Amino acid sequence: MSYSLITLEVTNPDSYINMLLTTKSKALSFGILASLFFASTFVLNRIMAVSGGGWQWSSALRFVWMLPILLLIVIIRGNLKQLLIEMKRNLGQWLLWSTLGFGIFYALLTFGASYGPSWLVAGTFEFTIIAGMFIGHFMQRKENRQPFSKATLFFSCIIFLGILVMQISEAKSTPLSTILLGTIPVLIAAIAYPVGNRKMMALTKGSLDTYQRTLGMTLASMPFWIILMFFGFQEHGLPDQSQLLQTLLIALFSGVIATLLFFKGTELVQHDHKALAAVEATQAMEVIFTLIGEIIILQTAFPNNLATTGILLVVVGMYLHSKNH
């Protein structure tokens, strides 16, 4: 903490507290907005899966579209050289954690969309809330680890309970094999995403801005996407115009806008692991936004009473989680 902040904390504690609250509020707002744009991924991936588009193309094309967009942004901001220097310094780490945090995460998420409706994929992915909380805890040095408060665990469990209730309400008519194929890969994706994100934050240590880090991870994950596109071509041939357009929309809404918002939110509170867990908890809103998207775009029926109960549990749990921090 700098001398000026120490002085502010001592001489004017109310202002210091308000500053911290403002930072946390901004971080939470970024997280909620990110979840809105992330929700487009689940709906559009389901549309492509139903129409017969290969999941390999659906996942890889998103990052192919993201690359020139982010590259242009970073070049305009004059920060490309700094990024390349940082990547060269720890290229192996960049390749590893970007492949995990972007590659494995999104490939498995898209694969899951082929075997389950968007609400189920979105709901299952909220396991990342619990995963992110424990991952952040164990990434700290033992001497710096603080035990989880009962409130933090309780509010996180409320969110997850709501997710389970939503799944149960719809999964009764779904074959077990389909549930497993749609659930297990998404659970792995829910772990891969926060691991990759937190490892990259630890690696860069605030030396890169959000645009640079997102571009760097996109670049470093390209070998993975090239391999995946090869298998996609072998199985499905080239993607059609509809899949190209829909992956472009996902790249803009989820890959660029949502990712930048979420990374910005996590960076604001990256040194406060409890607040960081609260920002990651805002991803629970993806379920709600995905359901709304299904009703409007896919014209599905409004959720039944059990599913509605699950939605309310998610909202209440997220609100309490955020208020607690």
* Within-domain flag for 285: yes
* Within-domain flag for 260: yes
Distance (Å) of CA 223 to CA 42, 62, 74, 172, 275:
24, 14, 21, 40, 34
* Within-domain flag for 264: yes
- pLDDT at site 3: 44
Q: Which of 79-88, 197-206, 252-261, 269-278 has the highest mean pLDDT?
A: 79-88
Distance (Å) of CA 159 to CA 42, 265, 274, 282, 310:
19, 20, 16, 10, 9
Q: How far apart are CA 219 and CA 98, in angstroms?
A: 8
Where does residue 137 rank: exposed (0-12), middle (13-18), buried (19+ CB within 10 A)?
middle
* Structural domain of 86: 28-324
Distance between start and end Cα atoms, the chain: 20
Residue whose entry in the numeric block shows the structure tokens 């829910």? 190
The 8-class DSSP code of residue 144 comes to G
* Within-domain flag for 208: yes
What's the domain count of the chain? 1
Q: How far apart are CA 253 and CA 240, in angstroms?
A: 20
Q: Which of 48-62, 109-123, 135-149 has the highest mean pLDDT?
A: 48-62
* Within-domain flag for 205: yes
* Within-domain flag for 17: no
| Token representation of residue 2 | 């700098």
* Within-domain flag for 3: no
pTM of the complete model: 0.80
Are the CB atoms for 260 and 37 separated by under 8 Å?
no
* Within-domain flag for 180: yes
- pLDDT at site 136: 73
